[in-house]
């Protein structure tokens, strides 16, 4: 396999996704994309054009906001595979154009989720929140406007990129705000068995029979498999939840998980393994 050279992410320079790429893959060239759809298209083969990146860094869960809905829409249809996971502590700074004081601010710009996660400081300072498409994009907009009454709530990395001055650090309401990212690749890379703690991600559709989900999941309980995620989705425009995304501890070739997956297949119409990858050190089971 040719070593990866470029990694795509959603957002502008200075976004949280950019920060994770810089931290985890400093030797790769980052490819900022306007949307999640563009990120998948940058890596996935076909679609009328050649891929422009080798990997994709995608947020999948947040400790405050829950699942990233758009991602779960793309994953089942994608031909990409999860090869790694990384956890990123979300930190936001209040920033403005150089020379601005907090007292001068009248509006604060950021992504709607970031504004919602920094309500306390917005209320304390009496600022008017203004929604931007992206946290880093908000910093760029404030820098371009050069208006001392405008502030941005953005990741710290954005201040240096866009020449803004940090007026207050760590302004998020909760200190446990963490996003889990997964790395997607065209190659289905499966680590060897017994090479450390593993996570297996997969989707499946249950058969339209009573207690199908209960029976499908029974094998995980009887084989002692720890299931860390189970989420349902509507498919085919129907309100009956028949598709599920699940994650479990272990490798598909581990005897217990192998038996559990065999039993799952008996009660489902389809099982698709999205990825088998090392568990990140930040995972804690107690």
Positions annotated as catalytic residues are 179, 181
Angle at CA of residue 7, ends 138 and 109, nearest 5° = 5
d(CA 67, CA 61): 4
Q: Which residue has the tokens 């009887």?
A: 222
Q: What are residue 246's DSSP bridge partners?
A: 202, 230
Whether the CB-CB separation of 249 and 279 falls below 8 Å is answered with yes
Element (H, E) at 82: strand 81-89
Token output for 130: 């203004």
Q: Please state, in angstroms and rounded to a whole number, the distance separating the CA atoms of residues 16 and 214.
A: 38
Q: What angle do CA 213, 214, 216 make, to 5 degrees?
A: 60
């Amino acid at each position: 396999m040719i070593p990866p050279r470029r990694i795509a992410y959603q957002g502008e320079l200075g976004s949280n996704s950019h920060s994770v790429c810089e931290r985890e893959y400093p030797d790769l060239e980052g490819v900022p994309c306007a949307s999640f759809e563009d990120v998948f298209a940058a890596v996935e083969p076909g679609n009328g054009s050649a891929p422009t990146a080798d990997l994709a860094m995608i947020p999948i869960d947040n400790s405050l906001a829950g699942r990233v809905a758009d991602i779960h829409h793309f994953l089942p249809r994608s031909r990409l595979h999860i090869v790694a996971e990384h956890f990123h502590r979300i930190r936001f700074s209040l920033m403005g154009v150089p020379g601005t004081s907090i007292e001068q601010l009248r509006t604060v710009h950021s992504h709607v989720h970031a504004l919602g996660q920094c309500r306390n400081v917005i209320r304390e300072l009496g600022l008017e929140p203004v929604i931007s498409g992206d946290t880093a994009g908000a910093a760029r907009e404030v820098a371009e406007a050069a208006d001392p009454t405008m502030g941005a709530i953005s990741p710290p990395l954005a201040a240096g990129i866009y020449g803004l001055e940090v007026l207050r650090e760590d302004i998020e309401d909760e200190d446990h705000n963490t996003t889990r990212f997964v790395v997607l690749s065209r190659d289905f890379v499966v680590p060897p068995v017994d090479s450390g703690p593993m996570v297996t991600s997969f989707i499946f559709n249950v058969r339209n029979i009573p207690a199908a989900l209960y029976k499908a999941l029974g094998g995980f309980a009887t084989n002692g498999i720890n299931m860390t995620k189970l989420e349902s989705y509507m498919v085919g425009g129907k309100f009956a939840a028949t598709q599920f995304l699940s994650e479990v501890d272990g490798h598909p070739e581990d005897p217990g998980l192998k038996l559990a997956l065999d039993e799952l297949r008996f009660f489902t119409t389809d099982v698709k393994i999205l990825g088998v990858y090392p568990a990140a050190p930040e995972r804690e089971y107690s």
